[in-house]
Amino acid sequence: MTEAGATPSLAGGVAVVTGAGRGLGREVAIALAARGINVVLAGRTAADLEATARLIRAEAGAEAVAVQTDVRIPCDVAALRAVTEREFGPAGVLVNAAGIFGPITAFGDSPVDEWIATQEVNLFGPFLTCREFVPKMLAAGWGRIVNVSSAGAILPPVPFDSAYATSKAALNRLTRQLAIELEGTGVTANAIHPGSLKTDMWAEIHSKVTALGEAAGGLGDWVRLVEATGGDSLAEAVAVVIRLIEAPAAVNGEFHWPQGGHQEPVASW
């Protein structure tokens, strides 16, 4: 058992990354594998997960296990834990990077199923994964949970963003609630704003915002900023995740920002 709060050597450890098929989740998985960590890749699209596994073999010279998982479904998440423990042993690191933006519409016009699905992926997914993986972390006396949130949960609201911003605000609170219960155990839970990244999610938002035209307001401004600048550094977002995994147990229940991003950090909680 690791002394509570002490950070062990990460090489040979086990990490689970949701949303590992693309974007930030993919890059985090590659970075962890490069540090000698056994990585389990979780996501809904098997082809994307296998592409990440190929990149890990090519760039990190390591192997990774891909587990097709819908984080909204309890039995899928339970199976993810079972496969992780069968292949590598209990996970000490959990990065919840799976997320969707959801409908970009006026509140009253939002398709009910899409609005609810946004909460299911962005909030219920991390709830289910944490519920599955935290017990073994507590037994080991060490664990690191990083939930990928958004500045949109903290900044003043903009029109047409009720589903995503609400889900991330709730994720922030979930992270805090979990962190306070983990205090003193050697296991931590933190949230991050990854920055304004030009990912596949951004491309989807771009398409929807373009259809709205000038009515998109603040969302349109953000899309144009990312398009004009190329967005924030994906590498810096990965670095934030790695720093939190390597941080001492005193770093717990916090909201972290990338360095040098377009959005200056603001008071969070």
Instruction: Judge whether 140 lies within some domain.
Output: yes
What's the pLDDT at 104? 94
Residue 216 belongs to a domain = no
pLDDT number for residue 68: 98
Q: How many CA atoms lie within 13 A of 91 on its CB side?
A: 27
Tell me whether residue 209 is in a domain: no
195-227 pLDDT, tens per residue? 999 999 999 999 998 888 888 888 999 999 999
Q: Does residue 126 lie in a domain region?
A: yes
pLDDT score of 2: 46
- What pLDDT shows up at residue 5? 52
Any domain includes 263: no
Total domains in the fold of the chain? 1
Kindly list the catalytic residues.
Answer: 164
Classified as helix, coil or strand, 266 is: coil
Taking a C-beta distance cutoff of 8 angstroms, is the pair 248, 5 a contact? yes
Q: In this structure, what are the phi and psi dihedrals at residue 255, rounded to the nearest 5 degrees? A: -115, 120
Does position 4 have pLDDT exceeding 70, yes or no?
Answer: no
Q: Closest by alpha carbon to 240, among 256, 254, 251, 252?
A: 256
Residue 229 within a domain: no
Residue 260 lies in a domain: no
Q: Is residue 206 a part of any domain in this protein?
A: no
Residues 176-199: what's their mean pLDDT?
Answer: 97
- For residue 67, the enclosing domain spans 14-197+234-254
Task: Give me the CATH number covering residue 143.
Answer: 3.40.50.720
Q: Which tens digit of pLDDT belongs to each residue from 114-153?
A: 999 999 999 999 999 999 999 999 999 999 999 999 999 9
pLDDT, position 1: 41
In this structure, the strands spanning 143-148 and 93-96 are parallel
